[in-house]
Structure 1
Amino acid sequence: MTDVVVVGGGAMGSAAAWQLARRGLDVVLLEQFEAGHVRGASHGASRIFRLSYPDSVYIGLAREAQTRWRELEDVTDTQLLTVTGGVDHGDHPHLHLLADGLAANGVRRDWLTPAEAAERWPGIRFDTRALFHPDSGRLHADHAVAALQQAAAKEGAVVRHSTPVTSIEVRGEDSVVVHTDSGSYPARRVVAAVNAWASKLVGDLVPLPPLRVTQEQPAHFAPLLPEDGWPSFGHIFASADGIYGLATPGEGIKVGFHGIGPEVDPDHRDFTPEPNQLAALRDYARTWLPGVDADDFTPISCTYTTTPDSNFVLDRLGPVVVATGFSGHGFKFVPAIGRVLADLAVDGTRPDPRFTFAR
């Protein structure tokens, strides 16, 4: 019998496999698709890393992740986290909550006037004060997943791609069987880190909150200014609509709306941008990003799995540990969430009430 079967070889599941294996447990990681696939939420070359949250729980997780990203880089001799600095702007009260949260937790930040921000980052238009946080940057998502699986394998974990799980059978508090088309895996625990597929795979086993799966449609815009001069950035309007962006070296400036894509079944996606959203994104780039060519772009497709309050689901019932609902802002926390999932699997330690099944 295996100690833990981890279902889902995206970033979260791979991080859990690494953290579990390094504790000396027998671990099998099962991923339904081939290595490097683009069907979930862990592919691509860029994700934002930031500490800028309004409360200490998320800031604490981000700080832990920052340390663990550097540890993973050392273990695998891979560059994953590039510090570029980050800036948030707009006419929304959330910016002040971010500033207060950073100040309360001793995180470096500074307010800049629109003129100061524009001088520093001429590729972005500013018409309000901007909140600068110098420790922010970007992560290489594809390299991160590969590094996590490499680190897990070094610790003895078995990593198997192209092995879709068909069902999970709970037999007792310390007994579960994970079924695939190619065989079954008895284990003491299962970690289901399947995000968009959570309702399908474990919806009958645990009390999940409602999960909204959407196909998000950012794009890479051709830069008119050097890519290495761009920060990660967020723009929040009074309407609460949000825009995010960052440089993706070699591909352009990635820009996207936050969490407004059409709902989809993750097994039946067309990967095609919705025309009105794409037009709105190009209009935004034309108005607010003088450092890109709004007419020279490459659309991107990924999924968000969003809970009603945008908090994650990190919880356990019996032998079943579940990770889902990362709501478009989870990637920065990946190695810290791997540690959380390992704690849940080993002794049931829960990180915070906001992450439980019952809200």
Structure 2
Amino acid sequence: MHAAFDHVVIGGGVVGAATARSLAARGEQVLLVEQHGRGHDHGSSHGASRIFRMGYADAEYVALCQRALEAWVALETASGRPLLDRTGAVDHGRPEQVDAIARELAAAGIDHERLTPEQAAARWPGLTFEGHVLTHASAGRIRSADTVEVLLDLAASDGAELRFDTRVTGVDDHGQTVTLTLDGPDGTTAVTAPSIVAAVGSWAPTLVGEMFRGRGASLPAIRVTQEQPAHFPSHLPDAAWPSFVHWPEDGADVYGLLTPGEGVKVGFHGTGPVVDPDQRDRTPVPEELERLQAYVARFVPGVDASRPEPISCLYDNSPADDFVIDRRGPVTVATGFSGHGFKFAPLLGEMIADLATGGAPHPRFALTG
């Protein structure tokens, strides 16, 4: 069976949902297919909270954060739902890292404040600080599960067809079009379209890597890791918690934020074992959980470090932690979000929709060849 679609978006996580929404809003005929159920927990988009922050020591990412904030406000307006809670964010730790972030925020005209560790601890008694401390009020917490649902709903309301529990089992590149073989609840079907968007994160190398090689452009090595942050019960009211990033003098970088109703999520950034995204066991590594609890006991006194609730999620890591967003022929790929892509989701949807409809890629995220 062949259906007439302008675009088939593969992947129903936040990036695929944002892309389908952006394309459908432009009047394009869109089919979104997702191999798992709606709102599943097998990839990188599940869970109720994510950090939104402008704190990059990189002017390009700061500029993208500013554009993303505008896109979040527009998405809240379009949906009529709150999606971004402005709790503020705080960075602390290695002076050279925090100072570099401060320089970029200043250069971009983003309001921020420098504090001593003692001043910061007085303001946020749930945290212990070291090194230099920086806070900016335009940051906060994204309602991530709500965001995915909003994007899917908006895509559908603009005419996109959504198919869940539908796996791509065949990809045939015809030059100007691609035929996908889909296995879903109603059996096996074939769909041919002039534009395929593989917004599949950790699954990108397997799904479209060979197709890109055939067009002379190799995806960078995407290293898929299973990360294991945890929620910890809070002793403090919800309003006491900013989003936070710690750049310690020794050891892995740490992030944290409140997930209302679940506790404070704390995790090491990008330290998990390499896994096959289809074969992961989700079992916490005991030594890593103990290391996380030891960190929390020292630096997050506002929670009970003895009562972790482990979480399992995937990172699709690129070599330089830069996103990979480009197109060759009828195929657009989006991967390499490296644990920091969610904050850009509504903007990424627009950028990928631009690419899929003939626009140029962002140079930073383009493939070579």
Q: Could you state the TM-score of these two structures normalised by the residue count of structure 1?
A: 0.97
Deviation readout 1:194-213 (Å, 9 max, x if unpaired): 00101110110121100100
* Residue 253 (1) aligns with residue 288 (2): no
Q: Which amino acid aligns with 1:106?
A: G
Percent identity, aligned pairs only, is 48
Q: Which amino acid aligns with 1:194?
A: V
Partner of 1:189: 195
CA contact (8 A) 2:95 2:132 kept: no
CA contact (8 A) 2:220 2:318 kept: yes
Q: Which amino acid aligns with 2:276?
A: D
Which has the larger displacement, 139-148 or 232-241? 232-241
Partner of 1:269: 280
Q: CA deviation at 1:345?
A: 0.6
* Residue 199 (1) aligns with residue 201 (2): no
Q: Which amino acid aligns with 1:176?
A: V
CA contact (8 A) 2:116 2:132 kept: yes
Q: Where in structure 2 are the equivalents of 1:241-320 lying within 5 Å?
A: 241-320=252-331
Q: CA deviation at 1:76?
A: 2.1
3-state SS of paired residue (1:42): coil
Deviation readout 1:112-168 (Å, 9 max, x if unpaired): 011110110001011322111111101111111110000111111111111111132
Q: CA deviation at 1:221?
A: 0.4
Unaligned runs of 5+ in 1: none
Q: CA deviation at 1:296?
A: 1.4
CA contact (8 A) 1:14 1:149 kept: yes
CA contact (8 A) 1:3 1:27 kept: yes
Deviation readout 1:227-268 (Å, 9 max, x if unpaired): 221000000123462000000000000000000001111111
**Correspondent of 1:152 among 144, 152, 155:** 155
Determine the C-alpha separation between the residues in 2 that align with 1:127 and 1:141: 29
Partner of 2:215: none
* Residue 21 (1) aligns with residue 24 (2): yes
**Correspondent of 2:343 among 332, 351, 356:** 332
Runs of 4+ in 1 over 3 A off after TM superposition: none
Partner of 1:349: 360
**Correspondent of 2:171 among 168, 172, 179:** 168
Q: Which amino acid aligns with 1:129?
A: H
3-state SS of paired residue (2:233): strand
Q: Which amino acid aligns with 2:207?
A: L
Q: CA deviation at 1:92?
A: 4.7
Determine the C-alpha separation between the residues in 2 that align with 1:149 and 1:106: 34
Q: CA deviation at 1:178?
A: 1.7
Determine the C-alpha separation between the residues in 2 that align with 1:133 and 1:76: 26
CA contact (8 A) 1:210 1:307 kept: yes
Q: CA deviation at 1:169?
A: 1.7
* Structure 1 residues 240 and 350: alpha-carbon distance in aligned structure 2, compared to 1, 3 A threshold: farther
CA contact (8 A) 1:72 1:151 kept: no
Q: Which amino acid aligns with 1:308?
A: P
3-state SS of paired residue (2:211): coil
Q: Which amino acid aligns with 2:72?
A: W
CA contact (8 A) 1:92 1:240 kept: no
* Residue 235 (1) aligns with residue 238 (2): no
Determine the C-alpha separation between the residues in 1 that align with 2:130 and 2:247: 12
* Residue 107 (1) aligns with residue 110 (2): yes
Partner of 1:44: 47
Q: CA deviation at 1:321?
A: 0.2
Q: CA deviation at 1:77?
A: 2.3
3-state SS of paired residue (1:98): helix
State the superposition RMSD in angstroms.
1.2
Q: Which amino acid aligns with 1:128?
A: G
Determine the C-alpha separation between the residues in 1 that align with 2:65 and 2:168: 31
3-state SS of paired residue (2:271): coil
Determine the C-alpha separation between the residues in 2 that align with 1:192 and 1:348: 16
3-state SS of paired residue (2:16): helix
3-state SS of paired residue (1:88): strand
Determine the C-alpha separation between the residues in 2 that align with 1:78 and 1:168: 37
* Residue 6 (1) aligns with residue 9 (2): yes
Determine the C-alpha separation between the residues in 1 that align with 2:140 and 2:99: 21
Q: Could you state the TM-score of these two structures normalised by the residue count of structure 2?
A: 0.94
Determine the C-alpha separation between the residues in 2 that align with 1:63 and 1:72: 14
Query: What is the count of residue pairs matched by the alignment?
Result: 357
Q: Which amino acid aligns with 2:177?
A: S
Q: CA deviation at 1:279?
A: 0.4
Q: Which amino acid aligns with 2:306?
A: D
Q: Which amino acid aligns with 1:202?
A: V
Which has the larger displacement, 73-82 or 137-146? 73-82
CA contact (8 A) 2:231 2:308 kept: yes
* Structure 1 residues 10 and 317: alpha-carbon distance in aligned structure 2, compared to 1, 3 A threshold: same
3-state SS of paired residue (1:286): helix
Determine the C-alpha separation between the residues in 1 that align with 2:44 and 2:109: 31
